[in-house]
Amino acid sequence: MIPTDVSETADATTDEAAYDRRRLRQWLAGRARADGVERRDLLRMLAATGLVAGLPTAFAAPARAAVPAAAGIVKPLPEEWFTVRGTNAEANFASFADTGHHTPVSRFFVRNHTTTPQLDADTWNMRVWGDGLAGGGRSFTLDDLTSLPATTRSAFVECAGNGRSFFTSQQGRSVSGTAWTLGAIGSARWRGARLADVLRLAGLRRAAVDVLPRGLDGDYVTADGTNLGRVRRPLPVTKALDDVLLAYEMNGEPLPPDHGAPVRLIVPSWIGIASIKWVGDIQVSAEPLFSPWNTDFYRLFGDAYPPEGSAPLSRQTLKSAFELPWNARLAARTGHRLTGRSWSGSGTVARVDVSTDAGRSWRRARLHDAARRADWVRWSLPWRPTVTGPTALLARATDTTGHTQPTTTAYNTQGYLFDAVVRHPVTVT
C-alpha cells in the first residue's frame, strides 16, 4: 500500500515513530554497521527518540499545475539515445555499446521530479544550518567550494526504480512509478568538495545524526495534488562523513543543468534519490530527520514488509544489462561479441556469467574494467549461434559480498531494487 496523504498528521507521526524505533533496532542488532554506524552513536539516537513526536509533519499546501511531458529537460533527447518517460529521460542501454567506461553527459539519463532549474553559478550559495552545528551555520559560494581540496572519483548514479518494468513483464505484478527498463543509470567522473570538509567548516558537532540536503527545483506535487515541498532526503551523518561529494564537475566539465548545476551531491553506492541535485541548503540535525523521500517513498512496502515499510533504502542492488537492442536479430553461424555491464552497490562485481540458451547453460564473461566500488564493469562474451529462432540472453553477476542475481525479486508496491536476472529476447536468423 502506498500512503497517499502525507498531510495526515497522526499517520505521519506514527510512521516517524515507527521509523525511528526501527533504526534503533537495526543499530542495536549491529545491522547498520556496514554503513559505518558505531555503537556510541546509539546513545545519541536514544536521546533523540523522545523528540520525534514533536517534529513538524504537515506538508499540506495548494496544488500546482502538472508539468508537461519532458518539457523540463534542457539537453536534447535524440530518440536513438533516450526514451522520454514523463518528466524523465531513460538512456537507451544498447547505445552504451559505443561509449567508454563513462557515460557522456549527452547520453546520461535524467530523473527529474519536476523540471530542471537554470541557476546562476555566480550568485548561487548554499546555507549549511541546524542544531547539529556549533554556532549559526555557514554559507558557501561556488568559489568557496572550489577552493577546498578537490576529490575526483568515478561512480554510477542509478535510480532505485531502475528495472522496475520487469516486475510486470517478468513477474506479472503491477507496481507504481516510472516504468524504466535498465537505462536509469549512468557512470561519470565526478569532481567536487568532500561533504565532510564542508560540514566540519560549518561547525559539525558530535551530536549531529542526520543531514538533509534540499534541491532548488520546484515543489513536488503528487498526482493527487499533495504538495510535498522541495526534493530532499535525509542522509545519516556517518555516510555524509564517509565518501559523499558536493560535485561541481561531471566528466571534466562544469556540471550541466539537467544533472544538478552548479552543485549536486554524489552519494556513492546509494540509490539515486540520495544524490540531491541543485543543492540549495543542507540542514544538519541532532535529531533524526524525515521527509516523504525516506518515509513514503524509497522504502519497500508490500506483503513481505511491515506496514511502515522496510528501513529507508540506502545501497543500490546488483544488476546486469546487455548493450544490445531488445529483440535484436543476430545472424546464425557468425561470430558475435556480446557486450554489457554489471554493477553493485555492495562490494564490487566479482564475476558475470552469461547464458545464450535462455538459462540452460552458462559461460563466464570476460571483465574489461578493474572492479571498483560504486561503479560498473564492462564485460564481453563471444557467441557463435547455430540454432535459429527466438531465444533469450541472460547475464548474472556475483559481487564480492557473495550475492548473485536471483531468478526473481520479491515484490514491493513501488517496484524498487529489481535485481533479478533479466531475460533479453533476441532472434537468431
Ligand X SMILES: Nc1nc2c(c(=O)[nH]1)N[C@H]1C(S)=C(S)[C@@H](COP(=O)(O)O)O[C@H]1N2
Residues near ligand X, by CB under 6 A: 108-113, 157, 159, 215, 217, 231, 259, 272-273, 275-278
Helices (H), 190-275: 195-201, 237-242
Answer with the entry of ligand X, Mo ion, none that 289 interacts with (C-beta below 5 to 8 A by kind): none
Answer with the entry of Mo ion, ligand X, none that 319 interacts with (C-beta below 5 to 8 A by kind): none
- Distance between CA 45 and CA 292 in Å, rounded? 21
Answer with the entry of Mo ion, ligand X, none that 248 interacts with (C-beta below 5 to 8 A by kind): none
Of 348 and 414, the one with the shorter C-beta distance to Mo ion is 414
- Residues binding Mo ion: what is the number (CB under 5 A)? 4
Do residues 295 and 15 make contact, with C-beta atoms less than 8 angstroms apart? Answer: yes
Residue carrying the nine cell digits 556475483: 398
The residue with its CB nearest to ligand X is 215
Of 110 and 397, the one with the shorter C-beta distance to ligand X is 110
- Distance between CA 54 and CA 367 in Å, rounded? 52
DSSP conformation class of 227: B
Query: Residue 261 forms beta bridges with which residues?
Result: none
CA separation, residue 286 to residues 84, 168, 208 (Å) = 41, 41, 4
Side by side, the strands of the sheet bearing 366-367 are: 319-322, 336-343, 376-383, 366-367
Residue carrying the nine cell digits 513501488: 414
CB 3, min distance to ligand X, A: 18
- Distance between CA 394 and CA 320 in Å, rounded? 9
Of 145 and 159, the one with the shorter C-beta distance to Mo ion is 159
User: What x/- string results for residues 92 through 131 when contact with Mo ion is judged by CB under 5 A?
Assistant: -------------------x--------------------
Of 117 and 177, the one with the shorter C-beta distance to Mo ion is 177
CB 336, min distance to ligand X, A: 31
Of 6 and 231, the one with the shorter C-beta distance to ligand X is 231
Answer with the entry of ligand X, Mo ion, none that 277 interacts with (C-beta below 5 to 8 A by kind): ligand X
Interface positions with Mo ion (CB under 5 A): 111, 159, 272-273
